[in-house]
Amino acid sequence: MRFRALTAVSGLTALTLLGMVPVAQAAEPSAPAANGVAKVKKMSPEEIQEMLAARADANTQGVTAGTTAEGRVVCFRAHVRNANMWTSTICTDQSGFTGSEGQNDPIDAVYFYVGPTGGMDFNVETHWANFGTAPEAHIAPGDGLMMWNSNGNALEAIHLRSFNQSMMAAAHVKDVGWKGTGLRSYDQWIGSIGENRWMEAFWIDI
């Protein structure tokens, strides 16, 4: 079964190092041009059900739908730079990855959403080419967060941290392929730092 892309929600606000700056909302936004993260309002029950229903999406293949909307779940999607598009949203109660594989196309923005049930404690931190590591952000249950860097800088690594849920994850890295520890952990980095290799895709499992 294939997955239906997450519909846009209103109330998008960008949080930059200089303060709060409004960002225009679009149905399928391109990666924003300013450094920072964007906080998305809590989703309606209908939007949550749409996200977790895993209906058809032409851009996703080999994705198994989750069977329930209950419990701890994290959803994620990526904006790929050269294709200038958001790839399909994948959730941790599914199989599959977000981004692109074998296209030599870097990720330049990411979006994370934490499911409203199960009390998942979830923090994320990103490392960008020609910039470094951005501040760690906490995403509360029922909230979403979009993260990007300026000038089309590519994502190189993601730091995943939780106090109450172990995770397994891997990243597809330029000129390397899939790279991960293969271990379940409460605190881990995926991707690469100091190797000048961008991230092209990633997956998370809890």
Structure tokens, 69:
């909307």
Question: Cα separations (Å) of 112 from 18, 20, 27, 62, 93?
Answer: 22, 19, 16, 21, 14
Ordered per-residue pLDDT tens for the chain, 206 residues: 323 333 233 232 222 222 222 222 223 334 333 444 444 444 455 555 554 443 333 233 333 333 334 689 999 999 999 999 999 899 998 888 999 998 999 999 999 999 999 999 999 999 999 999 999 999 999 999 999 987 779 999 999 999 999 999 999 999 999 998 889 999 999 999 999 999 999 999 99
CA 178 to mean position of chain CA atoms: 17
DSSP 153: P
CA gap 119, 4 in Å, rounded: 25
DSSP 185: B
Nearest to 171 by CA among 191, 192, 198: 191
Query: For position 148, what pLDDT does the model report?
Result: 92
Query: For position 60, what pLDDT does the model report?
Result: 36
Query: For position 133, what pLDDT does the model report?
Result: 93
Q: pTM of the prediction?
A: 0.70
Query: For position 79, what pLDDT does the model report?
Result: 94
Query: For position 182, what pLDDT does the model report?
Result: 86
CA gap 168, 182 in Å, rounded: 7
User: If you search the block for the tokens 């990526």, which residue do you land on?
Assistant: 78
